[in-house]
Amino acid sequence: MSIKHVRPTKLELRVLGALWQTGGGTVREIHEVLDREESIGYTTVLKMLQIMTDKGLAQRDESARPFVYRTRHSQEQTQEHLLSDLVHRAFGGSVKALVVRALAASKSSKEDLREIEQMLDKFDRKKK
């Protein structure tokens, strides 16, 4: 299944985060990472990884036991997909509206704003 058709749930995003952080692992290893942040049951992690494999968010290496799970898509690919989906669904396709709302929603430091300005200049130079 293509990443374009799957919107991970909040819990799936937590599991993906643990998989990206570790580079993949067994259910036990992923459970340990997640359980440090917030209590979660081992069987919940197992079930989530099974569901995520079926949905195409994760892949399972069955060549050895215990199975090793990895993400199917990079963190960057997933973030790009989710952001693109958000821009189209919530902001009518307007990146400008998203950026304005994001800047209005939380206080940005002067340093953050300078860095954003530098990134915009860099993107502008690439287009020319």
| One domain, residues 22 and 38 | yes
Question: For every residue of 61-88, which 3-state class applies, written as one string?
Answer: ECCCCCCEEEECCCHHHHHHHHHHHHHH
CA 21 from centroid of its chain's CA atoms = 11
Half-sphere exposure of 124 (CA within 13 A, CB side): 6
Q: Which domain holds residue 85?
A: 75-127
pLDDT: which is higher, 29 or 121: 29
Mean pLDDT of the region 26-51: 97
My answer on whether 79 and 33 are in the same domain is no
pTM: 0.81
pLDDT digit string, tens, across residues 54-100: 999 999 999 989 999 999 999 999 999 999 999 999 999 999 999 89
Q: pLDDT: is 53 or 127 the higher one?
A: 53
Same domain, 57 and 109: no
Burial zone of 37 (CB within 10 Å; 0-12 exposed, 13-18 middle, 19+ buried): exposed
pLDDT at 4 over 70: no
Residue 97 amino acid letter: A
pLDDT at 2: 52
State how far the Cα of 26 lies from the Cα of 122, in Å rounded to an integer.
41
- In single-letter form, the type of residue at position 40 comes to I
Among 20, 87, 16, residue whose Cα is nearest residue 56: 16
The pLDDT, as a whole number, for residue 128 is 67
How many structural domains are present in the chain? 2
Look over the chain and give the mean of its residue pLDDT values, rounded to a whole number. Answer: 92
